[in-house]
């Protein structure tokens, strides 16, 4: 077995950027971003309060919900457990496989309300329409340019009921343009059951102004309690930025309207971009007249 000092040296060598290093896409098969996705979500400040926000917007009456970019089912499981029916879609097959594996944790009644499938939100055609469509955790930032965003919004509108709504959680332009100083590691997650840890290093983002794109190399190192390197991966994370005005314009082209915008999932000011949309032809129900 490798000793701690030797393991630390090996890990540090593996952490150094290299032109010959194999770099995979984020959420690809075998990537540690998939394997440890749930752990990474738990420490993300961007997600603080998001599930409670979605549940509050859905209300108590059972709804039919479509989640685009469902990942490993973090949001979908919570929504289904609360009594709603959920269809979760994700482009990454490994993420969907992990989401399906969680169904056995649910009661038969809860599992019956939830389904996962691999699919592309740009070319999705489902036979149902939904009360709500959710795009959590920067899914919208993966779309490249106004063409893809408009196509996605058209698909959202196509799958919304007349009185339905959509919620998009996006990353603000300023955060992508002014990323935090790279750290090594940038985050460490410790696992009490094994004594192992996961070290995550975010390298400096490469910004492409013409394509309005941020490309960042992220290194993952899974390290045993005695310092041995158990697994590692180097992954490329790509996001695209856009303005509020662009979202409003592209939504209008798709027959949708941004009816509310927030900067956090709570009552405080934050650094998120949260858009709530409805169909442009949606008419709010008239309130019953109450005598004075």
Mean pLDDT of the chain: 88
- Amino acid 31: pLDDT: 93
- 47 vs 24: CA distance, rounded Å: 25
Instruction: List strand residue ranges (DSSP E) for 83-228, in order.
Output: 85-90, 114-118, 130-135, 160-171, 187-190, 197-202, 206-208, 213-223
User: Helices 145-158 and 244-253, interaxial angle, to 10°?
Assistant: 50
- Amino acid 16: pLDDT: 42
What does each of the 292 residues of the chain score in pLDDT, given as a tens digit? Answer: 333 333 333 333 334 444 446 899 999 888 999 999 999 999 888 899 999 999 999 999 999 999 999 999 999 999 999 999 999 999 999 999 999 999 998 999 999 999 999 999 999 999 999 999 999 999 999 999 999 999 999 999 999 999 999 999 999 878 776 655 556 667 899 999 999 999 999 888 899 999 999 999 999 999 999 999 999 999 999 999 999 999 999 999 999 999 999 999 988 888 899 999 999 987 766 544 444 4
- Amino acid 290: pLDDT: 45
Which fold does the domain 44-172+242-279 belong to in CATH? Rossmann fold (3.40.50)
- 111 vs 105: CA distance, rounded Å: 8
Nearest to 170 by CA among 158, 152, 155, 192: 152
- Amino acid 181: pLDDT: 59
- Amino acid 182: pLDDT: 58
The string of pLDDT tens digits covering residues 217-255 is 999 999 999 999 999 999 999 999 999 999 999 999 999
Distances (CA, A) of 182 to 143, 174, 175: 25, 16, 14
DSSP 248-282: HHHHHHTTEEEEEEESSSSSS--SEEEEEEEETT-
The string of pLDDT tens digits covering residues 160-188 is 999 999 999 999 878 776 655 556 667 89
Sign, CA torsion 111/82/281/120:
negative
For the chain, the structural domain boundaries read 4-11+21-34+175-240, 44-172+242-279
């Amino acid at each position: 077995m490798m000793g701690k000092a030797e393991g630390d040296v090996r890990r540090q060598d593996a952490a150094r950027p290299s032109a010959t290093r194999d770099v995979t896409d984020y959420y690809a098969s075998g990537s540690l971003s998939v394997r440890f996705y749930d752990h990474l979500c738990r420490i993300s400040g961007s997600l603080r309060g998001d599930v409670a926000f979605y549940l509050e917007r859905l209300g108590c009456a059972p709804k039919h919900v479509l989640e685009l970019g469902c990942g490993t089912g973090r949001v979908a499981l919570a929504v289904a457990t609360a009594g709603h029916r959920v269809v979760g879609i994700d482009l990454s097959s490994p993420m969907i496989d992990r989401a399906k594996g969680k169904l056995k944790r649910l009661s038969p009644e809860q599992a019956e309300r939830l389904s996962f499938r691999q699919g592309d939100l740009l070319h999705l055609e489902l036979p149902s329409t939904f009360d709500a469509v959710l795009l959590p955790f920067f899914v919208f930032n993966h779309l490249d340019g106004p063409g893809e965003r408009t196509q996605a919004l058209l698909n959202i509108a196509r799958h919304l009921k007349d009185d339905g709504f959509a919620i998009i959680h996006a990353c603000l332009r300023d955060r992508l343009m002014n990323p935090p100083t790279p750290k090594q590691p940038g985050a460490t997650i410790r696992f009490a059951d094994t004594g192992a840890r996961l070290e995550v290093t975010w390298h400096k983002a490469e910004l492409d102004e013409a394509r309005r794109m941020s490309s960042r190399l992220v290194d993952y190192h899974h390290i045993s309690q005695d310092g041995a390197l158990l697994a590692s991966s180097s992954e490329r994370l790509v996001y695209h930025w856009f303005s509020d005005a662009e979202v409003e314009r592209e939504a209008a082209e798709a027959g949708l309207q941004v009816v509310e915008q927030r900067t956090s999932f709570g009552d405080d000011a934050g650094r998120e971009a949260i858009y709530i949309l409805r169909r442009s032809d949606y008419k709010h129900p008239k309130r019953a007249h109450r005598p004075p």
